[in-house]
Amino acid sequence: MENFKQLCYDNKVILAPMVRINTLPMRLLALDYGADIVYTEELIDHRLIKCSRHVNDTLQSIDFIDKSNATVVFRTCSREKLHVVLQIGTSDPERAAKAAQVVEQDVAGIDINMGCPKDFSLKGGMGAALLSCPDKACTILSAVVSAVSIPVTCKIRVLPDINDTIELCKKLATTGIAAIAVHGRTVKERPNHPNRNHFIKAISEALDIPVIAKLLLIRYTNVLCLSRYVLTNNNVCFSGGSKEIETFEDITKFKNITGCSSVMIARTAEKNCSIFKRDGKLELGTIIRDYLHHAVDYDNVAPNTKYCIQNMLRNIQETEQGRHFLESTSLQQIWFV
C-alpha cells in the first residue's frame, strides 16, 4: 500500500508508453527533465513469466532476465522505483497476475494494455481485442488487482458509441483498478482524426476513479486549436496529441483549457525529451549526450540505443555526422560520432 499512496495521477506530467523507446535510459532522461511518472514499453506476459530477478551490482540495477535465453527483458533501478509504471500485454488473467507479481516489488504500478490496435496484439487476443470481450477484460483486471499490492490501471480506446464506451468504463472500474486511461480514438481511427473529447468528458463525469485521457492538438492552416470541448477538473489526465506540443506552455494550455489533472506525452518526448523541462527545451546535441550517459551507465544494448537516437535525429541523419552515426554498431562507436 505504500506505493499506492506515493503514486498519484493528479497534477503530473507523464512519459507515455512507447514500444522500443521506453527502455531505462529514456525513462531516466524523462525523469531528469521533469517527468513525474514514466511508463515502460509494453511487455508481454509470456516473457515476464519466464524471467528471474537479478540484482546487478555492477550496474546498480535490477534485471529481469529471460531464463530461456539469458536476455534482459526489463531493467530498472532505484532512481525510478517510485515513478515507473510497467505496462503488460496479456490475454489471460492467470498469466497477467503472475507477470505482475514478477515485477511487483520493483515498480510503482502496473498497467494492462487494452488499447493497442496492432495485428500482433489483436491476433493474440491482447490490446484492443479485449474491448470486444469486456467480461474477459474485467477478469484480467480483477486477477491482477488481487495478486499485487501496488495500483493497477488499464488503457483502452473509445468505442464508436459514447454510451457503450461509458458502460465499458463503468464495468472496468468495478474491478478495483486505481485509474483508467482512455485513448480518445477508436481502433480504426488514426492520428489525423480528432480526439473524441466529448467522450472523455462523459467518462470522467461517470466514473469515481481518476481518468487518464488522451487529448489531441490539431493544427488547421498553421493555427493551433487545442480543443472545441472544455472539460471540468475531475482527476482527468490527458495524454497524447503530443505531435503538436512544442513547448511546456502547450502542456499548460492542455491543463488550463481542458481542466485536466495531468498530461501524458508520447511522440514529442520521443523526439525531444526536454519537453518536460519547465524552463524550455534543450539543444538536440545536449539531449543526445544526456541520453547516451544513461545508455552507457546501464549498458543499454546498442541496437536499442541507436534506434532511440535515430528517432531524435530524424532528418539530421542525412548529414555527414548522421551518416557516420548510421554506420555505428556499438555504444562506443555511437558515443564518439
Q: What are phi and psi of 98, to 5 degrees?
A: -65, -40
pLDDT value at position 190?
Answer: 86
pLDDT value at position 225?
Answer: 40
Cβ neighbours of residue 240 closer than 8 Å, sequence gap 6 or more? 16, 183, 184, 195, 214, 215, 216, 264, 265, 266
Query: Residue 191's CB: how many other CB atoms inside 10 A?
Result: 12
pLDDT value at position 123?
Answer: 93
Judge whether 87 is annotated as a binding position: yes
Q: What are phi and psi of 324, to 5 degrees?
A: -65, -40
pLDDT value at position 224?
Answer: 39
pLDDT value at position 266?
Answer: 85
Q: How far, CA to CA in Å, does 171 sit from each of 93, 111, 310?
A: 16, 17, 41
Pairing of strands 37-44, 84-89: parallel
pLDDT value at position 297?
Answer: 98
How far apart (Å, rounded) are the C-alpha atoms in residues 335 and 273?
19
225: annotated active-site residue: no
Judge whether 17 is annotated as a binding position: yes
pLDDT in tens, 103-123: 999 999 999 999 999 999 999
Judge whether 255 is annotated as a binding position: no
Judge whether 303 is annotated as a binding position: no
Judge whether 182 is annotated as a binding position: no
Judge whether 18 is annotated as a binding position: yes
pLDDT in tens, 249-301: 887 776 666 666 777 888 889 999 999 999 999 999 999 999 999 999 999 99
Q: What would the CATH number be for the domain defined by 2-279?
A: 3.20.20.70
Specify the DSSP element, H or E, that contains 275. none
**Domain locations in the chain as residue ranges:** 2-279
Is this structure's pTM higher than 0.85? yes
Query: Residue 188's CB: how many other CB atoms inside 10 A?
Result: 10
CA 180 to chain centre: 13
Judge whether 46 is annotated as a binding position: no
Judge whether 123 is annotated as a binding position: no
pLDDT value at position 144?
Answer: 99
Residues of the chain short of pLDDT 70, as ranges, are: 1-6, 213-245, 254-260, 321, 324, 336-337
How far apart (Å, rounded) are the C-alpha atoms in residues 82 and 107?
7
Q: Which of 51, 116, 154, 237 is catalytic?
A: 116
How far apart (Å, rounded) are the C-alpha atoms in residues 215 and 196?
8
